[in-house]
Amino acid sequence: MTAYSRNKPISFDNHWMPFTANQDFAQNPRLVQSAKGMHYLTPEGEEILDMTAGLWCCNLGHGRDEIADAVHGQFKELDFAPSFNFGHPLSFELSERLAKMLPGDLNNLFFTNSGSESADTAIKIAYAYHDAKGDTGRKRIISRQRAYHGVNFCGVSLGGLTANRRAFGQWLPVDHLNSTHDLSRNSFTIGQPEYGGADMANELENLIAFHDASTIAAVIVEPIAGAGGVLLPPKGYLKRLREICDQHGILLIFDEVITGFGRTGKAFAAETFGVVPDIMTMAKGITSATVPMGAVACRDFIKEAVFSTSQGIEFFHGYTYSAHPLACAASLAALDIYDRENLWDRASGPVGDKLQEALQSLKDLPRVIDARGMAFIGAIEFEPLEGKPGAIGAALLKECWNQGIMIRGLGDAIAVSPPLIMEEAHIERFVDGFRKAVKVVLD
Ligand code: PMP
């Protein structure tokens, strides 16, 4: 098939695509050319229902004029400002706005351009804090198996996905909690699983006893592990992690790159689960993915400690595009829309319930061993094919595309994380197309 860009045939020889089977893609490209609301359009004009909000990020749906106007206006007024030694007003306005939205005293915002950069920044802030306190031995981080914190060397070290670790190894002193999702006790659960939360968290005590608290800077977790398969925290898990960290002077970091900005039915999962971390990373929904932006928020005591030890540059870190004016404009416009359309409440309301019921209703499909999720995030897991572990997600992604639906394939699971504007009719369309795709792939 010949694909075109602006009426000229596309060559697939030069763009090396991320996380993609490039050679396979060139044979069978899945291109999107435009988008509005809940749908992408292919160059051939076929409608694709976006059940993934792009990559868990276009939380407002596509083509929001208000964001386009804000970015355009900002571009004309101030296209770029140096991110250090000089400033521009919008970044301060956005920081104040986010600080008011964030739970507890997560009042201090440091801007990045992605979730991966936010992970690096969060770990550096944790190090800077302990160093400022004279606790310079605290460099180890505790993460989790099946965690995903991006692709920079810090994120790869923190991450718990075998494919990442096999390819790029570990470059920071990180150890991993190993319990993740207990299918034997918690399968087919909507919301937080009932069983095992405190036991899972107590595993942290073992790692602390093994390494000694004086060597540990922070524990980092995604409140819901996303790329690892949509793993919800069993009841009590996050609270117990919080208690253990407090007992040992260890910082607790939440990676809310996916869970932030409404996915769990509140602005942040920290609110949904009632646990405030010391540091929080975010990205994606902060601009509804219209302009790249990430951020790290930290509690007052962390900033106070770091600022107290220096009269000059307090934190030797930053990016050329930190708090880019166009990203700030996009974010402020996005936050206005989230507020005005009450989108967090929408995700925790009847449409979110309907999505979860729909996922549970698919348990009669062949090889399904779990359906799980909450609000506007969910997954279905399949028993792997003999001799081909991890193949089902990729096959379903392709077949769903043929059925006009975009989903995410995660090993032998699929994930959905639709824009917060999704209506019930979209869920019906998804269920219908997904059933057909499973029939093609697994019958
Ligand atoms: N953290 C989490 C939890 C993520 O899901 C992702 C990306 N999906 C990242 C970090 C990395 O974000 P980015 O791709 O923007 O670097």
Which CATH number is 84's domain given? 3.40.640.10
Closest atom of ligand 1 to CA, residue 225: 3
- Claim to verify: residue 360 and residue 430 sit in the same structural domain: yes
Note whether residue 368 is domain-resident.
yes
Is residue 1 very low, low, confident or very high in pLDDT (cuts 50, 70, 90)? low
- Claim to verify: residue 377 and residue 311 sit in the same structural domain: no
What pLDDT does residue 205 have?
Answer: 97
Nearest to 327 by CA among 159, 91, 148: 91
Q: How many CB atoms lie within 10 A of CB 76?
A: 8
DSSP 25-79: HHHS-----EEEBTEEE-TT--EEEESSHHHHT-TT-B--HHHHHHHHHHHHH-S
CA of 414 to the centre of ligand 1 (A): 17
- Claim to verify: residue 271 and residue 291 sit in the same structural domain: yes
Closest atom of ligand 1 to CA, residue 116: 16
End residue of a domain, out of 313, 340, 367: 340
Closest atom of ligand 1 to CA, residue 56: 8
Nearest to 59 by CA among 74, 41, 37: 37
Note whether residue 379 is domain-resident.
yes
Report the chain's mean pLDDT, rounded to a whole number: 97
What pLDDT does residue 169 have?
Answer: 84
- Claim to verify: residue 299 and residue 312 sit in the same structural domain: yes
Query: Which of 111, 220, 279, 284 for mutating ligand 1's site (highest number of atoms within 8 Å of CB)?
Result: 284
- Claim to verify: residue 223 and residue 357 sit in the same structural domain: no
Note whether residue 277 is domain-resident.
yes
The mean per-residue pLDDT over the stretch 379-408 comes to 97
Note whether residue 180 is domain-resident.
yes
HSE toward the beta carbon, residue 109, CA cutoff 13 A = 24
- Claim to verify: residue 48 and residue 127 sit in the same structural domain: no
H/E stretch holding 417 reads none
Note whether residue 17 is domain-resident.
no
CA of 155 to the centre of ligand 1 (A): 9
What pLDDT does residue 319 have?
Answer: 98
- Claim to verify: residue 222 and residue 141 sit in the same structural domain: yes
End residue of a domain, out of 318, 340, 362: 340
In angstroms, the CA 415 to CA 422 distance is 15
- Claim to verify: residue 374 and residue 316 sit in the same structural domain: no
Position 305: which residue type?
Answer: A
Q: At 393, which CATH number?
A: 3.90.1150.10
- Claim to verify: residue 72 and residue 144 sit in the same structural domain: yes
Provide the sign of the torsion angle of the four alpha carbons 283, 288, 292, 295, taken in this order: negative
Which ipTM score applies to this complex?
0.99
Count of the separate structural domains present in the chain: 2
In angstroms, the CA 227 to CA 163 distance is 12
Pocket of ligand 1 (CB under 6 A): 114-116, 119, 148-150, 222, 226-227, 255, 257-258, 283
Note whether residue 59 is domain-resident.
yes
The mean per-residue pLDDT over the stretch 358-382 comes to 98
What residues does 282 pair with on adjacent strands?
Answer: 295
CA of 147 to the centre of ligand 1 (A): 10
CA of 311 to the centre of ligand 1 (A): 34
In angstroms, the CA 160 to CA 182 distance is 17
Note whether residue 14 is domain-resident.
no
In angstroms, the CA 249 to CA 278 distance is 11
CA of 214 to the centre of ligand 1 (A): 29
Q: Which two tokens stand for residue 215?
A: 């060597």
- Using DSSP bridges, classify how beta strands 251-255 and 279-282 pair: parallel, antiparallel or unpaired: parallel
The mean per-residue pLDDT over the stretch 338-344 comes to 96
- Claim to verify: residue 90 and residue 50 sit in the same structural domain: no
Query: Which of 19, 116, 154, 157 for mutating ligand 1's site (highest number of atoms within 8 Å of CB)?
Result: 116
Interior CA angle at 69 toward 63 and 70, to 5°?
A: 110
The closest residue, in CA terms, to atom 1 on ligand 1 is 149
End residue of a domain, out of 323, 340, 357: 340
What pLDDT does residue 357 have?
Answer: 98
Q: Is the pLDDT of residue 123 over 90?
A: yes
Helices 325-340 and 89-101 meet at what angle, rounded to 10? 40
DSSP 3: -
Interior CA angle at 208 toward 207 and 209, to 5°?
A: 90
- Claim to verify: residue 312 and residue 385 sit in the same structural domain: no
Closest atom of ligand 1 to CA, residue 259: 3
The mean per-residue pLDDT over the stretch 354-382 comes to 98
Query: Which of 111, 144, 148 for mutating ligand 1's site (highest number of atoms within 8 Å of CB)?
Result: 148
Closest atom of ligand 1 to CA, residue 226: 5
Closest atom of ligand 1 to CA, residue 114: 15
What pLDDT does residue 253 have?
Answer: 99
Inter-CA distances, 432 with 62, 203, 429, Å: 23, 42, 5
Nearest to 410 by CA among 132, 218, 115, 161: 161
Report helix, strand and coil shares of the chain as percent, to nearest 5: 40, 15, 40
Note whether residue 332 is domain-resident.
yes
- Claim to verify: residue 238 and residue 258 sit in the same structural domain: yes
Structural domain that includes position 431:
32-63+349-442
Provide the sign of the torsion angle of the four alpha carbons 307, 97, 91, 290, taken in this order: positive
Tens-place pLDDT, residues 168-215: 988 999 999 998 889 999 999 999 999 999 999 999 999 999 999 999
